[in-house]
Every structure is written in C-alpha cells, then in structure tokens.
Amino acid sequence: AQKITQTQPGMFVQEKEAVTLDCTYDTSDQSYGLFWYKQPSSGEMIFLIYQGSYDEQNATEGRYSLNFQKARKSANLVISASQLGDSAMYFCAMREYFKAAGNKLTFGGGTRVLVKP
C-alpha cells in the first residue's frame, strides 16, 4: 500500500483563486510529520510547509495552509490567491519518526498545478 497518495495528477486554477491539493497518508505511528514541497519547471525542490502529528493547529505559511485531518489521515495543501508563479508540481511527503529509517521522507506522486491568467 502506498504511504502517500496524491489523487490529482494535474489541475487548473484561475489566477487569484484558491486551490486545494489533496494528500492522504498511511501510517500506524503516532508520531510523524507531513511536508509539502514545490517543484517549479526549473527542477529545484522548495520546502513549503510542515505539520507535526501532535500539532493541534493547522500549519500556515503565508498563502499556504495545511488542512490537517488526523482521523481521516489527510493533509491537504491550500494555496490562497493563486499566482502565475504557483504553476509547478507539488509533492506531499511524510516522515515517521519511530521507524528505523525515521529520518527519510516518503513522497507522493505529485500534483501538477497550472495557474491560468
């Protein structure tokens, strides 16, 4: 079973609108972290936001927020007021802290976002 599932391979969003990128995860651990990375066409991986499994509040970072629903094992990324520069691939990732290889990130397959002017 995949640990990180991103069901939306690609999506369009109108400039200035909000967009939600889905991410569900699978773990039996109680202690884990969830990450979102952005990969523009230039190829670099850019960290966006982090949510710890014990964090009671949803993480926010500027126009990015993480809608964390622990019982449903989902960690959706919300981008508000989309900009043309938001066009990129977005990856959800998870770290399980008590695994033997607890220092690695496991990534989902990614969602490509194209912002239309």
Partner 1 sequence: DAGITQSPRHKVTETGTPVTLRCHQTENHRYMYWYRQDPGHGLRLIHYSYGVKDTDKGEVSDGYSVSRSKTEDFLLTLESATSSQTSVYFCAIRGGQGEGEKLFFGSGTQLSVL
Dist CA 96 CA 106 (whole Å): 9
108 binds partner 1 (CB under 8 A): yes
Q: Among residues 86 and 96, whose Cβ is nearest to partner 1?
A: 96
96 binds partner 1 (CB under 8 A): no
Q: How far is the CB of 34 from partner 1 (least distance, A)?
A: 8
56 binds partner 1 (CB under 8 A): no
User: Site for partner 1 (CB under 8 A): which residue of 4, 19, 66, 115?
Assistant: 4
Q: Please work out, in degrees rounded to the nearest 5, the angle formed at the alpha carbon of residue 90 by the alpha carbons of 85 and 95.
A: 140
CB-based contact 6:109 (threshold 8 Å): yes
Q: How far is the CB of 9 from partner 1 (least distance, A)?
A: 8
Contact segment (CB under 8 A) with partner 1 among 17-25, 46-54, 69-77, 78-86 equals 46-54
DSSP 58: P
Question: DSSP letters along 8-54, please?
Answer: -SEEEEETTS-EEE--EE----SSEEEEEEEE-TT---EEEEEEETT
104 binds partner 1 (CB under 8 A): yes
Residue 15's alpha-carbon distances to 47, 73, 81, in angstroms, are 22, 29, 7
Q: Among residues 16 and 104, whose Cβ is nearest to partner 1?
A: 104
User: Site for partner 1 (CB under 8 A): which residue of 52, 63, 73, 74?
Assistant: 52
